Amino acid sequence: MSSPIIGVFDSGFGGLTVLRALLPLVPGAHYIYLGDTARLPYGSKSQTTIARYAVESARFLEERGSDLLVIACNTATALALPEIRAAVSVPVVGVIEPVVRAANLQHPSAEVLVLATTATVQSHAYLQHCEALGLRATEKACPLLVPLVEEGWIDHPVTRDVLRIYLEEALATCSPKAVLLGCTHYPLLAPLVETTLRELGSQAVVIDSAQATAAEVETHFPTSTPSSSDAATFECFATDSVEKFQRLGSLFLQHSIDQVQHLDLGG
């Protein structure tokens, strides 16, 4: 397939770390990113509501011509992936299975630590996927990390202290070979996570969910060597303030977002 169209969906901004990882991988691809910012956070909604929201977004991306959909949202992946796959006719890649498989490839049947939001931990989606592959998982909810990242405090003393407390608490209960970043905000903290682990005496490898998901998407398209004329392009849609999306989105994408189109998906 030449010049594929790839749809990327998240309830907010975190999925842009997945888009950032994707941009260099599929030559000539055009990405359509949808952030359902008007209805976040998904974690506080019922499973039925989350599935309805996610399916609406997936259908929009398919209608825009997407050849494949990336559900770059841990909550939607954990609670609505079967409904999304049933609602569209194109392949769908979530963010949980790729990172669990990556952990198992590096450390088969090992003990792993999953850092995630409270909603993702309560779903036990990572625990179930890890158990299916023989990994022994400890899940740790880190609810303060998302607002700290969105504040732009990527390497701030407060963020360092909060992360250290979470990791100290987790490492008191497990000795992981790998630490899985189970939230799409967390890749921005990957260097800090690794540094803090080493300071606490852990040699666990940090597995970036954005990179693992992007690598899985790449396998769906023929292998070719990109040239300068094959640079990927992207466009962004948001269901709430486009100005806020441009400002925060540029932090996550680490690339300026010149234009965001507003999309009304209803209540």
Taking residues 20-44, report their average pLDDT: 94
Q: What pLDDT is attached to residue 93?
A: 98
pLDDT of residue 121 exceeding 50, the answer is yes
pLDDT of residue 227 exceeding 70, the answer is no
For residue 196, give Cα distances in angstroms to 32, 40, 154, 180, 228: 35, 30, 13, 14, 38
For residue 184, give Cα distances in angstroms to 175, 198, 247: 24, 22, 17
pLDDT of residue 224 exceeding 60, the answer is no
Judge whether 43 is annotated as a binding position. yes
- DSSP bridge pairs for 207: 180
DSSP-derived secondary structure for 134-199: T-EEEEEE-TTHHHHHHTT-TT-HHHHHHHHHHHHHHHTT---SEEEE-STTGGGGHHHHHHHHHH
Active site members: 73, 183
The stretches of 3-73 forming alpha helices (DSSP H) are 16-22, 47-63
pLDDT digits (tens, 9 = 90+) for 169-220: 999 999 999 999 999 999 999 999 999 999 999 999 999 999 999 999 999 9
Q: What pLDDT is attached to residue 168?
A: 98
pLDDT digits (tens, 9 = 90+) for 139-179: 999 999 999 999 999 999 999 999 999 999 999 999 999 99
DSSP-derived secondary structure for 79-95: HHHHHHHHH-SS-EEES
What end-to-end distance do the CA atoms of the chain give, in Å? Answer: 36
Domains of the chain as residue ranges with CATH: 5-94+213-262 (3.40.50.1860), 96-209 (3.40.50.1860)
Judge whether 75 is annotated as a binding position. yes
| Confidence class for position 27, pLDDT limits 50, 70, 90 | confident
Judge whether 184 is annotated as a binding position. yes
User: Which two structure tokens, joined as six digits, stand for 233?
Assistant: 């392009």
The sign of the CA dihedral 175, 148, 235, 238 is: positive
Q: What pLDDT is attached to residue 266?
A: 80
Judge whether 42 is annotated as a binding position. yes
Q: What pLDDT is attached to residue 223?
A: 64
Q: What pLDDT is attached to residue 228?
A: 47
pLDDT of residue 12 exceeding 50, the answer is yes
Contact 36, 239 (CB under 8 A): yes
Q: What pLDDT is attached to residue 1?
A: 52
User: Residue 214's Cα: distance from chain center in Å?
Assistant: 10
Contact 71, 48 (CB under 8 A): no
pLDDT digits (tens, 9 = 90+) for 47-103: 999 999 999 999 999 999 999 999 999 999 999 999 999 999 999 999 999 999 999
Contact 44, 88 (CB under 8 A): no
pLDDT of residue 257 exceeding 90, the answer is yes
- DSSP bridge pairs for 181: 115
The percent helix, strand, coil of the chain (3-state, each to 5) is: 50, 20, 35
For residue 13, give Cα distances in angstroms to 65, 95, 166, 188, 253: 22, 14, 23, 12, 9
